[in-house]
Amino acid sequence: MRKKYRSHVGVLLDILQAISEENEPTITRIIYRANISHDRLKKYISRLLEQGYIRKKEVNGRIIYFLTDKGVKLMRELQLVRSVFDVLGFQL
């Protein structure tokens, strides 16, 4: 059986949704929710921080991630793209 792979856009959307939906999302929670390796997630997190889509804050000695307004907008746009792909029968 052939394994299905997510595109970079699909991975990015899964990360943004994990941050949005988790209560106090840490790296570990995002890894589980987005189903991504630690090394790969760190690269995405770094880029999202640099570009202002997410921010981080220390809470009780843990690093917690939050979507910025820009990040929420990106997540919504990617959700729309995913829904179009789903209607067409393609995986994002």
Three-state SS string over the chain comes to CCCCCCCHHHHHHHHHHHHHHCCCCCHHHHHHHHCCCHHHHHHHHHHHHHCCCEEEEEECCEEEEEECHHHHHHHHHHHHHHHHHHHHCCCC
Please tell me the pTM assigned to this model.
0.89
Instruction: Provide the domain count of the chain.
Output: 1
Q: Token pair of 64, please?
A: 């917690």
Kindly state whether residue 3 falls inside one of the protein's structural domains: no
Kindly state whether residue 18 falls inside one of the protein's structural domains: yes
Domain that holds residue 75: 8-81
Per-residue pLDDT of 65-91, as tens digits, reads 999 999 999 999 999 999 998 888 887
Kindly state whether residue 86 falls inside one of the protein's structural domains: no
Q: Token pair of 62, please?
A: 């843990």
Ranges of the chain whose pLDDT falls below 70? 1-4
Kindly state whether residue 88 falls inside one of the protein's structural domains: no
CATH code of residue 44: 1.10.10.10
